[in-house]
Amino acid sequence: MRFTRDHEYIEAGGDLATVGISEHAQQQLGDIVYVELPALGATLKKGDAAAVVESVKAASDVFTPASGEVVAVNDKLGGNPSLVNENAQGDGWLFKLKLSAPGELDGLMDAPAYAEYLKTVE
């Protein structure tokens, strides 16, 4: 699992990757009330705004940590956006990408580096 400075995570297996927001991000947002997911088949470039997570506090864009095509979205979030609060880095995933440039993941933080980064932003 890799992380961005904007608190997204990406977990890749081969050229397929799962994207969502980190546990830290969901804690900062508070109770998630709505999630807007990207369209299936959408082609995203690293850094593109891909989704929106709305909480009782604020709405936040979710930026894609890598380039690729959206091949799945988490339909369960439509009826139960609180899954993001319950398990952001598990059942609360947002979308899956077929990676077009897997090398982009190399520039992202691993879990220990992300934990260190969090110490600088809290």
pLDDT digits (tens, 9 = 90+) for 8-32: 999 999 899 999 999 999 999 999 9
Task: Give the residue numbers spanning the domain of 48.
Answer: 2-121
For the entire predicted model, the pTM comes to: 0.95
Q: Which of 122, 29, 17 is nearest to 3 (CA)?
A: 17
CA distance 68 to 101: 7
Residue 49 has pLDDT above 70, yes or no: yes
Number of independent structural domains in the chain: 1
pLDDT per residue over 61-103, tens digit each?
999 999 999 999 999 999 999 999 999 999 999 999 999 999 9
Residue 122 has pLDDT above 80, yes or no: no
CATH number of the domain that residue 62 is part of: 2.40.50.100
Residues 6+ apart with CB under 8 A from 45: 64, 67
Region 41-64: what's the mean pLDDT?
A: 95
- Average pLDDT taken over every residue of the chain: 95
pLDDT at 77: 96
H helix or E strand, kind and range, residue 85? helix 83-87
